[in-house]
Copies of this chain bind each other. A is one copy, B any other.
Amino acid sequence: MNEDELVTAIAALTDGTSRVLIGIGDDAAVWQPARSQRSVISTDALIEGVHFSRAWMSPDDIGWRAMAANVSDLAAMAARPRLGTVALGVPPEWTPQALLECYAGMARCARAFGLQIAGGDLVRAPVLTIAITVVGEVRPSNLKTRSGARPGDVIATTGALGASRAGLDLLQGAVRLEPTLAAAALAAHRTPQPRVAQGRWLGASTHVHAMMDCSDGLSTDLARLARASRVGASIECVPIADAAAAAAAALGVDPMAYALAGGEDFELLVAVEARAFARLARLFHARFGQALERLGTVRADERVVMVNQGREEPIARTGWDHFSQ
């Protein structure tokens, strides 16, 4: 069983009734506390040795990244972050000081994106375990899910991919980069910026049909978007972050792997009505000073392919899957 198969089996155990409008399988679940309002809830767990290592991350950065991953799930639903809870499993070798530094990183990231930490739980665990749940709010008409992509839509991201993975290469000593690129790669890995403002802005456009974040690598996330929308995708070009391109060149590997398998980029992946894309991209650039990068188009059959000089090749899922063998 891979991760998506397990999620499907789990979803079958829960019943999709009541005021929960969108349940297991999207970036976040949605419910309706009042008629004119949607609340969005999402949870993400990070485990020491699986998602991060103290060998190359400070407790403060570990905290920031854990919170950013959760906030990014709200951004992907076009929601405004409101509050969160933090369950921490703490191993004996983490001193109270290191723990509080980690918590300070979480609180700093939360504050930067308007979210308040409202509660939590502290327990003993064999390795540091961070489970965060976040709640956001969104106007019903602005809510975006993974399942709205339509054939013909333009597929785009809010930025270039792969910088976080290049940062990990740097921290692990696998590669050296010139100072500007190194700084960008390290920042992308240590203190990633969830695209909250971009998500809310894109959510306000009726031309944006589907949205999710790229946290598990483009190849995996694109397959999830396509499956949720029962469509396919033809990708023509993938925007690679400069730092990722430089790291790939230094290591003699395909830079595309940094975007397809890299993960933890937190850029948003959107499907946009084709005839509206040029104008939306222009407005996006004017608003955020960055490009809404065109990757390709949504296709009606359910194949996800890379188009290269007219030839189509299936995109293998090389991104993050906790339960693949």
Residues in chain A within 8 A of chain B (CB atoms): 1, 3, 6-7, 9-10, 13-15, 17-20, 23-24, 26, 28-29, 31, 33-34, 37, 39, 41-47, 49-51, 82-83, 85-90, 96, 99-100, 103-104, 107, 110-111, 116-127, 129, 131, 133, 135, 137, 322-323
Contacts and interface: CB of A to CB of B under 8 A. Distances in A.
B45 A39 contact: no
Contacts of A7: 122
A118 B41 contact: yes
Query: Secondary structure of the A side of the interface?
Result: strand
Given A50-B124, A129-B125, A33 B118 contact: no
Given A13-B117, A47-B124, 14 more contacts: A6-B96, A13-B107, A14-B116, A24-B118, A33-B39, A43-B133, A44-B121, A46-B123, A50-B125, A87-B131, A87-B133, A122-B323, A129-B129, A129-B131
A6 B122 contact: yes
A87 B45 contact: yes
Contacts of A47: 89, 123-126, 129
A165 to B, nearest CB: 19
18 contacts: A3-B122, A6-B96, A9-B96, A13-B107, A14-B107, A18-B83, A24-B118, A31-B83, A33-B137, A41-B119, A43-B121, A45-B123, A45-B131, A47-B126, A49-B126, A87-B131, A122-B322, A126-B126
Contacts of A86: 43
The 10 A-B residue pairs with the shortest CB-CB distance, nearest first, are A131-B131, A29-B118, A29-B119, A133-B133, A45-B87, A43-B85, A14-B117, A87-B131, A34-B34, A1-B96
B135 A45 contact: no
A260 to B, nearest CB: 21
A139 B81 CA distance: 23
B85 A41 contact: yes
Contacts of A42: 85, 119
Contact of A43 (B29, B120, B126): B120
A104 to B, nearest CB: 5
Contacts of A129: 45, 47, 89, 125, 129, 131
A107 B15 CA distance: 9
Contacts of A107: 13-14
A322 B41 contact: no
A18 B119 contact: no
A267 B257 CA distance: 54
Contact of A83 (B20, B26, B96, B131): B20
